[in-house]
Structure 1
């Protein structure tokens, strides 16, 4: 049996025919005004590769808007992604749209394959909750095919992509300031992909909070690319088991926070903790978080997905990026003193 990634995609058909993805999509979806020779090359390439549009695409070729929006997630268990998807799905349902979801498991090839499927099946738009940093270049191709793309991930920023994101640098600065204000000068920082613009911005914010503070130690404890729950748990366990353990922790995602809490529970050591991104059990566990207005993010994304590509509401220019404010939710863990 062929692997999923071995199946022919719209991109491979376009490459074989020597045309753009947009042109291949137009031919295979039965659109007019394509040169006969070009259409023949695309059809021949599709036949040679065994590429077929599915039945939904065939029904939509005659016109009308697809009821489907492609949604990209990297991790279905990540609390932020799951929370945002739930709100996004509810907002889409209010206007008669339905999500078709892929969870890429941080596989950029899987992400590319899904984008090709979205284009081949003429979906109304694509919404990116979280992308692999190496997959960012794929969205330029999708945007060139005149599909509406809205993203919550800065790594996908570029022409044709509407970005809706939190002020990630401010989030890092608020997390660090919260701990500095309560007397902490020894801090462990657990990060995600070092190539991710979100991680980069949050670390820049943390660093800006320490500017001019030579008494603050954090670089010795900083760990990027912990990325998942298990690795975050191992990092924090190693720190807490040392003789020079940090008195406070900053975790750059809710998934990493959960790993850190698992390590604290195992060792029964509880440093002060600030998490960037809220999660369902945070209030129960009294975890201080830096959070965004996720409901507003979902609502704004759906408003933009309703606009035709290349235009804004009322036919005006595209609105471009939107930055969502972040705020501190103090619940206790970030307000502990170093000598508690």
Structure 2
């Protein structure tokens, strides 16, 4: 039996015919105003490859606008992604739209195949919660072909993709400042995928907070690629088991925060902790976090998906958390690009980030 990813996709048809994905989609969906010679190339390529459009897509086209929005997640267990999807689904339901979801498990080929299926089935749009870096570039081409795409992942920026993201540099800066203000100078930082723009920006914010503090030791406790719960748990356990354990931790995602807590529980050692992104049990565990307004992110995404013109974002919509219209680096006048809407971040102090070093 052929694997799912071995099946012909719209992208393979377009490549065989020597046309864009959108042109192949137009031909196979029976749209007019395509040159006869081009249509023949696409139809021949589809026949040779055994490619068939979903019959549901044809019925939806006959009845008008599709009510379906493709949604891409990398990990359904990740607290941020699941929390955002729950809110996004509710917002889509309010305007008569329904999500069709794939969880890619960080497989770029699976992600590209889902994108092809969304284009072939003529969905109303796409919403990307997390993308694999190797697949991210595919969206710019699709968006430039008049497919509405909204993304919460800055790695997919390009073309007509609208990006809705938190002020990640400020998030990192707030996390570090919270611990510095409570007297910590030995701080461990547990990072996510080092190539992710979110991780890069959060680390830049942390560095900016430590820039003038030569007394702060944190580079010795720095792990940029502990990207899942198990690896975060192992890294923190190794730190806490050493003779010179850090007095505080910063974790760059909710999943990493949970891994760090598991290590602390196993060793019964409880350094101060500030995590970035909230998660369902954080309040019960008294975990201090830096969080974004996820409900606003979901609402803005649906508004952008409904915007037929996909016009530039409203001027001043993405303010820093100080309300002064600053960009993510805090410089006046260096605000978000026209297709990036930046969500403010804020501290939720619950106790773990306010512990002094000697406690």
> Normalization by structure 2: what TM-score?
0.92
1:173 aligns with 2:192: no
Query: How many Å separate the matches in 2 of 1:246 and 1:289?
Result: 19
1:171 CA drift (Å): 0.1
Equivalent residues, number: 337
Q: Which residue pairs with 2:21 in the alignment? A: 21
Contact 1:68 1:99 (C-alpha < 8 Å) held by counterparts:
yes
What is the root-mean-square deviation of aligned Cα atoms in Å?
1.4
Shift of 1:61: 3.1
Corresponding residue number in structure 1 for 2:220: 220
| Aligned residues of 1:164 and 1:324 also touching (Cα < 8 A) | yes
Distance 1:111 1:136 in 2: 9
Task: Tell me how far 1:33 sits from its aligned partner.
Answer: 0.7
State the partner residue of 1:64. Answer: 64
CA contact (8 A) 1:233 1:262 kept: yes
CA distances 1:267-319 after superposition (whole Å, capped 9, x unpaired): 001000000000000000000000000000000000010012544699xxx96
SS in 2 for 1:123: coil
* 8 Å Cα contact 1:233-1:261 kept in structure 2: yes
Would you say 1:107 and 2:107 are equivalent positions?
yes
Q: Partner of 1:220: helix, strand, or coil?
A: helix
Structure 1 residues 204-215: aligned runs within 5 Å: 204-215=204-215
Following superposition, the deviation at residue 56 of structure 1 comes to 1.5
Q: TM-score, normalised by structure 1?
A: 0.97
User: Do structure 1's residue 338 and structure 2's residue 318 form an aligned pair?
Assistant: no
Instruction: Name the CA distance, whole Å, in 1 between partners of 2:112 and 2:84.
Output: 22
* Cα distance in structure 2, aligned partners of 1:312 and 1:34: 29
Query: Which consecutive residues of structure 2, in runs of 5 or more, have no partner in the other structure?
Result: 315-336
Query: Could you list the per-position Cα deviations for residues 200-246 of structure 1 after superposition, in whole angstroms to 9, with x for gaps in the alignment?
Result: 00000000000111000001111011000000000000000000110
Give, in whole Å, the separation in 1 of the partners of 2:83 and 2:135.
23
Structure 1 residue runs of 4 or more that deviate by more than 6 Å after TM superposition: none
Most deviating of 175-184 and 41-50: 41-50
Deviation for aligned residue 1:145: 2.3
CA distance in 2, matches of 1:60, 1:312: 29
**Structure 2 residue aligned with 1:37:** 37
Q: Which residue of 2 aligns with 1:326?
A: 345
Find the counterpart in structure 2 of residue 129 from structure 1: 129
Unaligned runs of 5+ in 1: none
- 2:220 and 2:112 mapped to 1: Cα distance? 37
Task: Go from structure 1 to structure 2 and tell me whether the alpha carbon gap of 1:108 and 1:196 turns closer, same or farther (over 3 Å shift).
Answer: same
User: Which moved further from structure 2: 267-276 or 63-72?
Assistant: 63-72
**Paired residue for 2:299?**
299
Deviates more, 1:41-50 or 1:279-288: 41-50
Partner of 1:185: 185
**Contact 2:312–2:339 (CA<8 Å) still a contact in 1?**
no
CA distance in 2, matches of 1:312, 1:169: 23
Per-residue deviation, 1:58: 1.2
2:88–2:302 CA contact under 8 A, matched in 1: yes
* Residue aligned with 2:290, SS: strand
2:169 aligned with 1:150, yes or no? no
Displacement of 1:4: 1.4
Shift of 1:170: 0.1
Give the conservation status (yes or no) of the 8 Å contact 2:170–2:345.
Answer: yes
CA contact (8 A) 2:141 2:159 kept: no
Write the distance in 2 (CA, Å) between the matches of 1:220 and 1:313.
Answer: 41
Partner of 2:321 in structure 1? none
Specify the SS of the correspondent of 1:234. helix
Name the stretch that deviates more: 138-147 or 243-252: 138-147
Please give the per-residue CA displacement for 1:78-108, whole angstroms capped at 9, x wherever unaligned: 0000000000000000000000001111111
Residue pair 2:304, 2:310 contacting (<8 A) in 1 also: no
2:155 & 2:63 partners in 1: Cα distance? 33
